[in-house]
Structure 1
């Protein structure tokens, strides 16, 4: 209970916030899991205004984004993969308890996402959590033919729709950060024109100690940074309080990528969810 009160106390200071090219090798080996049935499609959630100085919602761009625009204290936490059911669950509880805003890029082949769908759907519907496409099985898509690339993206897009009701996310994050004009075009044709890269990392594409992970956070938790992390290894679940302290100490405000780049429809749905209207 003391830990929960600590998280909620810090979250109170973050209330109303929400909070490249990636370095070579910032990806994970994948472990296949079995497909499972998914529930019917639900309406997609979306965001409202960020309330972050220097961030004005924009239409999603066609092409690569590597950092947040503007001059304010926004920080975008983005979490990839999801090999661990326990780590995905811990991230969902962290978001619920703290109010931190983040963007997930799931690989649908991992059972962890369906196992935690009931925890994540309310966060997605409220706009606190956004989703993007990271392919179904995490291959290097630059090594695949056109049809294989399209199938990886399409299958994961359909998974996001049926599992979380996410119908119109513009964001695609290529595994390992590997993409080219051909794969970008295929992603855009399938509804993901914005290639979401990053300019900061928790360095947890490999197994880290809690101390190593916090060293990465202290390096990269800076304004206008898109930080990539992974829902794979348990070390991150032991440092949520320290991450919140760091965010508060530096005056950062967490945002989802959809807080920054959203279609008009997303903004309207998000505004309805929180009872206010957002216009650019």
Structure 2
């Protein structure tokens, strides 16, 4: 008797079709379980995120620009993260359960930080102005000295004294040039000083990862369903084969 030809793939497809409801139930259950696991494990992703940047301007003091030092100062603020995306900008990120809470905490932290920046900026400006005033006074003193040396040089008939006055005039002129140059620089520093500024903030809902979790769960569920049905079909065929032979492994 000729051996009966078998269409294994067709048999499996028919077997799967008869149990097609499993391709709905198992992926849905898997998707729900994975989404629930992600929801529980990623509890910090729920809620709202408020992001705001403060422009530090010409304030470059490390205590006010180093993110680790700033975070240490605001370590009691829950859900706060700080980074420096650019050299003159500090970004604050706050995670909270509600939109209002996230925005409120962000405003409090940024306003306090901005106050510290303004104090430092004002101190730098005042010190620079004092240095400018001191340099201007030094220039005035040198101008007076130069006028005196030139007057004495013109009135002196002694060659030795004349040489001494010329040397004093040369040194005074060099010092006056340097002092005037520094005074101009200090004046420019004050005029062109870049003041700190609070930039617009943004509040948005935190990413929940639920859609991604559901998609992954459905894909895994489909793979699991195919694997499970394949195993069930294999066991069913094996049981039928040994039953027809009258041989049982148990």
Superposition TM-score, scaled by structure 2 size: 0.20
Which entry has the higher C-alpha Rg, 1 or 2? 2
Superposition TM-score, scaled by structure 1 size: 0.18
